[in-house]
Amino acid sequence: TLKEAARLALYTLFPVVRLNHLLSQLQKEREFLLQHGYSLSYARCKL
């Protein structure tokens, strides 16, 4: 679909957008992970 093509183009051209989206998803799932005994941490580094 056009929506999927646009998302793919955005993520391909701007990987930081994809990274921020993934981090947002992880933050939303943080409480669920904590309830099941998992902790979540991530670190960023400049490339």
pLDDT digit string, tens, across residues 5-46: 988 888 788 878 778 888 888 888 888 888 999 887 777 766
For 11, counting Cβ atoms within 10 Å of its Cβ (0-12 exposed, 13-18 middle, 19+ buried), the class is middle
pLDDT of residue 20: 84
Calculate the CA 21 to chain-centre distance. Answer: 4
pLDDT of residue 31: 86
Q: What is the DSSP letter of 1?
A: -
Cβ–Cβ under 8 Å, residues 28 and 20: no
Cα separation, 25 vs 22, whole angstroms: 5
pLDDT of residue 39: 83
Give the amino acid at 30: R
Q: What is the DSSP letter of 39?
A: -
